[in-house]
Amino acid sequence: MKKLYEIERMSAVQRRSFLKLLGVALAAPAVPSALRFAANEMAGGTAYAQDREMETIFIEIDLRDQWDQMHVMVPPGIATYGDVRRGETGDGITMFAQQSEIRRTESGVYLTADSYELEPHLDTIAQIDHCEASSGAIHGHEAGNAIRSPGRAEERLAGAMPMFENDPATADGGNMRWYASVPTPASLHNHWAKLADPSLRNGVAFKGLSRSNHTVFHFGGGLPGAELDRIRSRSQLFDAFPAFVEDLNVVPTAEQADALRAVLGRLDQRFLSRRGFVDSVRTGHAQQIDEAREILHVREPRVLSLPLTEEERAFWSEGVPNQMCTEGDTESFECPDDRVKAHIWEQTAYAFKLVNAGVTRTVALEFDYMDLHGFRPELSVRTQAKQISKPLARLITKLKEAGLYERTVIAVYTLDGSRSPKANSYGNDGKNTLILAGGGIRGGYWGDIRLTNEGGHDGFTYHPPDPETGAPTGSFRGIDGRLDSARVWRTVMRAAGVPDAMCDEHAQVQGKAPLGFVLR
């Protein structure tokens, strides 16, 4: 496509300044991605527009120990079962919400009072319970997880490297010493993001677990620049990212203003139609363009100040339980301050501030509940649901307000597995849940778990989603029949914008197709 005369006549320095100016205008939340792509294509060519769209944000949330997401999105087969025999021990089903509390949303997803806050965003939140079960020696506990690094193994096979060297813990229990060749998602995204934009700061992993004998492995697979910066405290995070203010209320020169008007003015109905943009993008485009122009003069300065104000603390923390601890098989209690690195609502607030300021596009968070052996009280299940649902909803809200959500992927992993529906179970015989959120995600609860009357208790069967359609498939009870970890990994990487060719460099995932049902 021929560039506009107003752009062609600029010097190289002026052109770079103009493209930055255009980027500020097009970052307004009102500007849809298709319109942004068209404007960037006109200003800088197709390759330039494609590069801008690949500037994705990736936020990984890694949860230990054995989180059960059944109060986040309730499997339809359990939500609609007439007489659930709930219980905290033995064969009792640990879905404690009564029928009057369960809300069937317009999208068909079932929520509980612990997760109602997600409802406005359900079109872009997917929950998949049927991933490969965790296989740590202590009832599934592990710091790796096959869906984060397909093919990881206890023995060092050809081409494999130790996953554990950069994330030590005070004990090996629950942290099997895996060897792998496939990078974990945040590490690979960090590598890709910095290749696309060398000016970015390195991605971070906030080591937020309260238990010193547990950890999470982040693995770059030997790729240059892939390893995340490990941050182990609030103070270390604040020191690594000191406060700054950048004024974005750019006043363009007359020449730049003419070019800006020319680019935005050319995005008329006929141009968008010729470029194949759908009616929904073309409709109302004039108003959206006007808002993009105005943003140059009313945009708030870009600020990074990680310590939370009282107002911010109130927003992020409302209704979210603080980090909980246990002792053996007792009820949970709030962790003492010296055990808390940062509550989950704090961590998500820091993640938003980092990506909103544009200093990095890759953030990994770590959080734990504390393991319960042999039983699961209602308090623990509801606490876990609130600790992930409410911060996730608020993170999405803030990303939408900032105009960043369309190019963001949030992946929530349960590293130790998620247990089966019955109380007396462990991660290696139950679910392994992945929650994905972002502008490119097709929301829904995918697959099903169904209850069966088996005399004195409720039995259950797993029905994983068909890899192409997402429809529940035939049932199984054990650990077979799970989704292919390589395809799950490729799904996350495709959503995060990492090129297929880069993914295919790793033999364990080479040629594997993403799960078609969960990507828009």
pLDDT (0 to 100) of residue 401: 93
Compute the distance between CA of residue 16 and CA of residue 14 in angstroms, rounded to an integer. 5
Which is more confidently placed, 335 or 283? 335
Question: What is the full DSSP assignment across 24-83?
Answer: HHHTSTTS-HHHHHHHHHHHH-HHHHHHHHT--EEEEEEEES----TTTSB-HHHHT-SS
pLDDT digits (tens, 9 = 90+) for 42-88: 777 776 766 666 689 999 999 998 899 999 999 999 999 989 999 99
pLDDT (0 to 100) of residue 24: 61
**Residue 291: pLDDT over 70:** no
Q: First CA to last CA across the chain, in angstroms?
A: 27
**Residue 90: pLDDT over 90:** yes
pLDDT digits (tens, 9 = 90+) for 454-511: 988 999 999 999 999 999 998 888 888 899 999 999 999 999 999 999 999 999 999 9
511: left (phi over 0), alpha (psi -120 to 50) or beta: left
Q: What percent of the chain has pLDDT over 70?
A: 83
Q: Which range has the worst mean pLDDT, 242-256, 268-282, 333-347?
A: 268-282
Which among 66, 102, 114 is positioned nearest to 385, based on CA atoms?
A: 114
pLDDT (0 to 100) of residue 281: 44
pLDDT (0 to 100) of residue 372: 76
Compute the distance between CA of residue 408 and CA of residue 354 in angstroms, rounded to an integer. 13
Name the token pair of 184.
Answer: 């974990």
Compute the distance between CA of residue 426 and CA of residue 374 in angstroms, rounded to an integer. 8
Mean pLDDT on 409-431: 93
Residues in CB range of 472: below 8 A, 6 or more apart: 447, 448, 463, 464, 465, 466
Which is more confidently placed, 327 or 119? 119
pLDDT digits (tens, 9 = 90+) for 151-171: 999 999 889 999 999 999 998
Mean pLDDT on 404-425: 94
Residues in CB range of 173: below 8 A, 6 or more apart: 138, 141, 213
Which among 345, 339, 336, 443 is positioned nearest to 388, based on CA atoms?
A: 345
**Residue 181: pLDDT over 60:** yes
**Residue 248: pLDDT over 60:** no
Question: Strand locations in 66-216, DSSP E?
Answer: 103-104, 110-111, 125-128, 161-162, 179-180, 204-206
Compute the distance between CA of residue 302 and CA of residue 295 in angstroms, rounded to an integer. 13
Which is more confidently placed, 399 or 258? 399
Owner of token pair 């995932």: 509
Compute the distance between CA of residue 97 and CA of residue 30 in angstroms, rounded to an integer. 38
Mean pLDDT on 182-194: 97
Strands 302-304 and 244-246, sheet pairing: antiparallel
Name the token pair of 510.
Answer: 């080479």
**Residue 11: pLDDT over 70:** yes
pLDDT (0 to 100) of residue 466: 96
CA distances from 86 to 92, 342, 382 (A): 5, 33, 14
Report the amino acid identity of residue 234: R
pLDDT digits (tens, 9 = 90+) for 196-241: 888 889 999 999 999 889 999 999 999 999 999 999 999 999 999 9
Average pLDDT of the chain, as a whole number: 87
**Residue 367: pLDDT over 70:** yes
Mean pLDDT on 172-191: 95
Q: How does residue 12 score in pLDDT terms, banded at 50, 70 and 90?
A: confident
Owner of token pair 């990095």: 360
**Residue 314: pLDDT over 50:** yes
